[in-house]
A = this chain, B = another copy of it.
């Protein structure tokens, strides 16, 4: 459904800049990206992480002007198509439409999960929750064995801006999790040292796990455009 043509993005470059016209919707083929906002004085809030096979820029729907910026976290590749075309396709083939609806619902759930995270949890819980969420989104399951690991190309600064903390505090808190043998984030890889305590601390809502699992079924059932 998406064209084969891909656009390469170096890590750290913006795919979309807030305020720009952005008529295209993208499929993320490779790499991670994040959606963010910058306040007038430079403070940054990261709103959403996207992993491969996810849709980018589904927002900006009404006016065609992007309301958030999207940046490549790692080197990445995307392929785009005009928004109208996606809408059309979705209307014509219920399968695609349903997939799209699921994706939007998933984004909404993630947003609410993050809001709850930032608003009502301690730094330890927030960090564990984010790392656990990303672990699950990559592996499509909970961590089970000690030393299960997963690629996680986040700097402490990025984690801080996603969770409403400072990078210094993220550093100390990560240090705590490491020293207590719960989890360790190093060189872009997350090592889950004690799955049980990690999952308990992260406290992912069951709906989120369900949605993640469902995404997995879908991908298994449907051949993907390559």
Contacts and interface: CB of A to CB of B under 8 A. Distances in A.
Interface of A: 37, 39-40, 43-45, 47, 59, 61-63, 65, 67-68, 91, 101-102, 104-105, 107-109, 111-112, 114-116, 118-121, 161-164, 203, 205, 207, 210-211, 214
A161 B59 CA distance: 27
B62 A214 contact: yes
List 9 tightest A-B contacts by C-beta distance, closest first.
Answer: A119-B164, A45-B116, A67-B207, A43-B120, A45-B119, A111-B111, A45-B120, A61-B105, A118-B119
A171 to B, nearest CB: 18
Nearest to A207: B67
B116 A114 contact: no
Given A61-B105, A67-B112, A111-B112, 9 more contacts: A43-B120, A45-B116, A62-B102, A68-B112, A108-B111, A111-B111, A114-B115, A115-B115, A119-B162
A150 B162 CA distance: 34
Contacts of A104: 104
Contacts of A62: 101-102, 105, 211, 214
